[in-house]
């Protein structure tokens, strides 16, 4: 967002957060969710399990990012590993995918082809437009398609790669952001940098909306940057009538040891195993931190 102001918030000189790895959504019908994300967004199904104890599917976004779908099962946990932290998929999450800016017109045609209503919003200026397309999946999650310039100097840890064009699906190249709801907004602004090391970048002037850069240092958003982001706001309706997610499960690439030291000092419930670090935030979100693959 360009209509914003930078404020001061305690944070480390260098953030241990590196990039966005995965987002987990809560859905009420797993097969329908898999069809939507395969047929509309062109994601590749890596695994799917539907049964009495769990109902989950994982889809490949690119070589380093995945999207998971969890259908709640009564009195069961979708991931036994995260059961002590009571992890759930996010409800009504707003999140964004990256596409090449030149592909935005084709994205409109694909959305029309699938009968999906969409809204275009220019988050930049008339001289430097930064357009995004907004639409909803069948479960009320608010999706955004944001154009990126892969030659931009503000590079993410894992730069998305362009795949050959496929008919009838959106030309997705990466996950861009997740937007989470926080009831205690003022505490969140200091809590996220202190407890985990997120790099606070800015907040909006007209509403409780803060942005954190998933990178060693905070950087400006918009104008085609391929960086990834964590957004945090109060529960009010956001841009394009989209809500921040409740009880979200989000995975990040990070310096796990550095985050672990902060989490222990903050006294947050967590677990550490061969996968990485998982933490339950006081707001009910569960964050996972894993080392990036070599």
* Residue 2 pLDDT greater than 90, yes or no: no
Q: Which two tokens stand for residue 84?
A: 């002590």
Main-chain phi, psi angles of 102, to 5 degrees: -70, -15
Which pLDDT tens digit goes with each residue over 95-152? 999 999 999 999 999 999 999 999 999 888 878 788 899 999 999 999 999 999 999 9
Residue 267 structure tokens: 């006294």
pLDDT digits (tens, 9 = 90+) for 203-220: 988 889 999 999 999 998
- Report pLDDT for 50: 75
- Structurally, how many domains does the chain consist of? 1
Chain center to CA of 19: 10
- Domain CATH number, residue 124: 3.10.180.10
Q: Which helix (H) or strand (E) holds 56?
A: strand 55-62
pLDDT classification of 3: cutoffs 50, 70, 90: very low
Average of per-residue pLDDT values in the chain: 93
Residue 165 has pLDDT above 90, yes or no: no
Does 5 have pLDDT greater than 90? no
Looking at 24-168, list the stretches that DSSP marks H as alpha helix, in order from N- to C-terminal side.
Answer: 30-39, 104-113
Spatial strand order in the sheet of 94-100:
4-5, 199-204, 209-213, 229-233, 174-181, 94-100, 142-148, 131-136, 119-122
Residue 124 is predicted with a pLDDT of 80
Average pLDDT over residues 234-241: 88
92 vs 7, higher pLDDT: 92
Tell me the pLDDT tens digit for each residue of 55-107: 999 999 999 999 999 999 888 899 999 999 999 999 999 999 999 999 999 99
With the CA atoms of 206, 200, 126 and 234 taken in that order, what torsion angle do they form, in degrees rounded to the nearest 10? -30
* Strand spans (E) along 110-198: 119-122, 131-136, 142-148, 174-181
Looking at residues 173-183, what average pLDDT do you find? 97
pLDDT band at 1 (very low <50, low <70, confident <90, very high): very low
- Residue 107 structural domain: 4-290
């Amino acid at each position: 967002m360009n209509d914003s102001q930078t404020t001061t918030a305690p944070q480390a000189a260098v953030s241990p957060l590196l990039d966005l790895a995965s987002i987990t959504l809560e859905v009420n019908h797993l097969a329908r969710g898999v069809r939507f994300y395969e047929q509309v967004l062109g994601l590749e199904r890596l695994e799917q399990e539907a049964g009495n104890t769990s109902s989950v599917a994982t889809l490949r976004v690119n070589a380093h990012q995945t999207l998971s779908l969890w259908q709640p099962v009564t009195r069961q946990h979708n991931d036994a590993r995260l059961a002590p932290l009571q992890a759930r998929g996010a409800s009504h999450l707003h999140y964004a995918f990256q596409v090449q800016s030149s592909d935005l017109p084709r994205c409109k045609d694909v959305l029309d082809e699938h009968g999906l209503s969409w809204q275009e919003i220019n988050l930049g200026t008339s001289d430097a437009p930064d357009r995004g397309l907004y639409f909803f999946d069948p479960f009320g999650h608010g999706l955004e398609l944001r154009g990126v310039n892969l030659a931009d100097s503000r590079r993410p840890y894992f730069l998305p790669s362009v795949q050959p064009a496929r008919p009838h699906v959106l030309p997705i190249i990466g996950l861009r952001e997740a937007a989470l709801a926080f009831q205690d907004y003022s505490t969140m602004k200091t809590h996220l940098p202190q407890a985990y090391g997120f790099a606070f970048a800015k907040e909006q002037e007209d509403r409780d909306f803060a942005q954190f850069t998933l990178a060693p240092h905070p950087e400006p958003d918009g104008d085609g940057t391929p960086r990834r982001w964590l957004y945090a706001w109060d529960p009010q309706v956001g841009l394009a009538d989209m809500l921040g997610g409740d009880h979200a499960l989000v995975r990040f690439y990070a310096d796990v040891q550095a985050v672990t030291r902060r989490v222990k000092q903050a006294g947050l419930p967590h677990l550490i195993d061969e996968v990485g670090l998982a933490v339950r935030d006081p707001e009910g979100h569960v964050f996972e931190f894993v080392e990036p693959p070599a």
